């Protein structure tokens, strides 16, 4: 039986480098060796490509690949950059294309795209570096609803995110976010349950299949589902299906599908929400959700009886246009 050569692309010059290594490692571990010949495609922090341990140019590293599973996260791997490289080489790959990836990675562009479609989102604004930045921060703190959430506009995995409840936290949070991005987004803090929902294309007879809505219960020490709660803490609880009402569960699933379709995402995605007494608020979307042992999509797949290896089979089929 002919085995497909499957490149697992991981690493990269990203603030989510370590997470990508974990996702890629999990994929390499679970690929069916009877069907596939896996190749570890590692990109180091400086952007240098390696295939099976040897340094190569991207086109050389991708030579003879039947398909690539993109296990990258964050900038370079999830913002359309590596997607353009893969398109230029002509290798099929998992996940969304360059334009959809670029839009979804940028929280401001994502909100701007979704706003006309009736998706509830927290009040937000942006801030960029200027000669009167200190004045802008003071003015914004006074005029913007507090508490607030401060985020780099184009990073994932809650990197550089702060919940500010006073001016000191607000100013420090903005300074911290600027170390990751030239644009900072400030959002109104919405108190409620943290929820997430994955969407898989052409799955179980549906064009866009919504996985069960998962409730996220981070440890109190983290305060919210931050980087530590996502990838380091053993005390984070992921409840799937989550403790939501029947109508809330349905609404979360429908919203996740709507985000996926509106942003022209493909293969799979995962959208995050806050479920509050005021309604269900969309936070952000992940075009390449984490697939580590701590991650949400594998937990949701397990809850519906789908093996992770079967999910990888499905992604490979989607990427190769077989479904």
| Choice among 75, 194, 201, 272 that is catalytic | 272
Asked if 215 is an active-site residue, the reply is: no
Asked if 270 is an active-site residue, the reply is: yes
Which two structure tokens, joined as six digits, stand for 244?
A: 């939501």
Task: Identify whether the C-beta of residue 77 lies closer than 8 Å to the C-beta of residue 154.
Answer: no
Q: How many CB atoms lie within 10 A of CB 54?
A: 9
Asked if 201 is an active-site residue, the reply is: no
| Choice among 26, 78, 284, 295 that is catalytic | 284
The three-class DSSP label of residue 89 is: helix
Asked if 284 is an active-site residue, the reply is: yes
| Choice among 17, 36, 225, 231 that is catalytic | 231
Asked if 231 is an active-site residue, the reply is: yes
| Choice among 148, 226, 269, 286 that is catalytic | 286
| Choice among 77, 156, 173, 290 that is catalytic | 290
How would you label 243-263 residue by residue, b for 16+ Cβ within 10 Å and e otherwise?
A: ebeeebbebbbebbbbbbeeb
| Choice among 157, 158, 269, 271 that is catalytic | 157
DSSP calls for 268-310: EEEEEEEEETTEEEEEEEESS---STT-HHHHHHHHTT--HHH
| Choice among 16, 169, 194, 215 that is catalytic | 16
Residue 60 to residue 17: CA distance in whole angstroms: 22
Asked if 286 is an active-site residue, the reply is: yes
| Choice among 7, 242, 270, 295 that is catalytic | 270
Asked if 290 is an active-site residue, the reply is: yes
Residue 17: name the closest of 196, 153, 150, 157 by CA.
Answer: 157
Asked if 16 is an active-site residue, the reply is: yes
Q: Which helix (H) or strand (E) holds 28?
A: helix 17-30
Catalytic residue annotation: 16, 157, 231, 270, 272, 284, 286, 290
């Amino acid at each position: 039986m002919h085995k497909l050569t499957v490149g697992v692309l991981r690493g990269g010059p990203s603030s989510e480098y370590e997470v990508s290594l974990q996702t890629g490692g999990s994929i390499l571990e679970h690929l069916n060796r009877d069907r596939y010949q896996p190749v570890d495609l590692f990109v180091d922090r400086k952007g240098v490509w390696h295939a099976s341990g040897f340094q190569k140019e991207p086109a050389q590293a991708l030579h003879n690949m039947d398909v690539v599973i993109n296990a990258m996260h964050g900038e370079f791997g999830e913002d359309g950059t590596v997607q353009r490289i893969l398109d230029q080489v002509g290798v099929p790959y998992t996940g969304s294309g360059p334009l959809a990836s670029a839009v979804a990675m940028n929280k401001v562009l994502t909100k701007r795209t979704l706003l006309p479609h009736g998706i509830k989102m927290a009040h937000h604004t942006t801030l960029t570096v200027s000669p009167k930045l200190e004045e802008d921060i003071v003015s914004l703190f006074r005029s913007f609803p507090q508490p607030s959430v401060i985020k780099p506009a184009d990073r994932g995995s809650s990197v550089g995110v702060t919940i500010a409840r006073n001016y000191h936290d607000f100013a420090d949070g903005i300074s911290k976010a600027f170390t990751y991005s030239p644009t900072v987004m400030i959002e109104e803090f919405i108190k409620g349950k943290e929820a997430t929902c994955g969407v898989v294309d052409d799955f179980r007879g549906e064009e866009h299949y919504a996985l069960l809505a998962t409730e996220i219960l981070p440890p109190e020490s983290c305060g919210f589902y931050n980087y530590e709660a996502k990838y380091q803490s053993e005390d984070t609880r992921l409840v799937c299906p989550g403790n939501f009402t029947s109508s809330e569960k349905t609404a979360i699933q429908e919203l996740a599908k709507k985000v996926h379709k509106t942003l022209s995402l493909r293969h799979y995605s995962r959208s995050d929400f806050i479920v509050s007494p005021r309604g269900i608020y969309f936070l952000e979307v992940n075009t390449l959700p984490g697939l580590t042992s701590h991650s949400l999509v594998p937990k949701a797949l397990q809850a519906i009886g789908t093996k992770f290896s079967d999910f990888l089979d499905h992604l490979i089929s989607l990427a190769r246009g077989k479904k």
